[in-house]
A and B are shown apart, each in its own frame.
Chain A
Amino acid sequence: MPLHILGPMVVIGIISIGIVLHLLGNSKRLVFTNADQVIERWLREHPETLVERVEISDTGHQAIVKSNAGIGIIWVMGFDTTSRLINLPVQTSIHPSGISIKLADFTAPRIKIDLNSETSRSHWITIFAKKEPSWII
Chain B
Amino acid sequence: MDNLTFPDTVQLAVPFFIIAILLELAWITIKRRGGRYETRDAMTSVLLGAGNVVTGILLGFVAWGFYNWVWQFRFFDLGTSIPIIVICFLLDDLRYYWVHRFGHTIRWAWASHVVHHSSQHYNLTTALRQTWTGEFTGLMIVSVPLLLLGFHPAMVLFVGGINLIYQFWIHTEAITKMPRWFEAVMNTPSHHRVHHGRNAQYLDANYAGVLIIWDKMFGTFVPEEEKVDYGLVVNLGTFNPIRAAFHEWIGIFKDITQPNISLFDRFRYAFAPPGWSHDGSRDTSRIIKRKFVERHPEAKGKPGL
Interface residues of B, count at CB 8 A = 45
**Dominant secondary structure of chain B at its interface with chain A:** helix
Query: Cβ of A21 and Cβ of B251 under 8 Å apart?
Result: no
Interface string of A9-31 (1 = CB under 8 A from B): 11001101110111010110000
Measured between alpha carbons, how far is A111 from B236 in the docked complex, in Å? 12
Binds B, one of A53-61, A102-110, A125-133: A102-110
Interface string of A67-79 (1 = CB under 8 A from B): 0000000010111
Measured between alpha carbons, how far is A60 from B153 in the docked complex, in Å? 54
Query: Cβ of B247 and Cβ of A16 under 8 Å apart?
Result: no
Residues of A within 8 A of B220 (CB): none
Binds A, one of B15-23, B135-143, B185-193, B297-305: B15-23
Interface string of B221-233 (1 = CB under 8 A from A): 0000000010101
* Interface residue from A21, A78, A82 paired with B25 (Cβ < 8 Å): A21
Measured between alpha carbons, how far is A96 from B50 in the docked complex, in Å? 35
Please judge, given known A-B contacts A18-B43, A21-B39, A21-B42, whether A10 and B53 are in contact too, CB under 8 Å: yes
Closest-by-CB residue of B relative to A29 is B38
Query: Cβ of B37 and Cβ of A107 under 8 Å apart?
Result: no
B238 at interface, CB cutoff 8 A: yes
**Dominant secondary structure of chain A at its interface with chain B:** mixed
Query: Cβ of B43 and Cβ of A1 under 8 Å apart?
Result: no
Interface string of A25-42 (1 = CB under 8 A from B): 011000000000000000
B286 at interface, CB cutoff 8 A: no
* Interface residue from B15, B57, B120, B251 paired with A9 (Cβ < 8 Å): B15
Residues of A within 8 A of B239 (CB): 77-78
Interface residues of B in 254-305 (CB under 8 A from A): 291-292, 295
B194 at interface, CB cutoff 8 A: no
Query: Cβ of A75 and Cβ of B237 under 8 Å apart?
Result: yes
B250 at interface, CB cutoff 8 A: yes
Measured between alpha carbons, how far is A84 from B233 in the docked complex, in Å? 12
Query: Cβ of B46 and Cβ of A21 under 8 Å apart?
Result: no
Residues of A within 8 A of B121 (CB): 80
Measured between alpha carbons, how far is A110 from B270 in the docked complex, in Å? 26
* Interface residue from A1, A20, A106 paired with B11 (Cβ < 8 Å): A1
Query: Cβ of B18 and Cβ of A80 under 8 Å apart?
Result: no
Residues of A within 8 A of B244 (CB): 107
What are 15 inter-chain pairs, A to B, with CB distance below 8 A? A3-B57, A13-B18, A14-B43, A14-B46, A17-B18, A17-B22, A17-B42, A77-B236, A79-B36, A80-B120, A82-B237, A107-B236, A107-B244, A109-B243, A111-B237
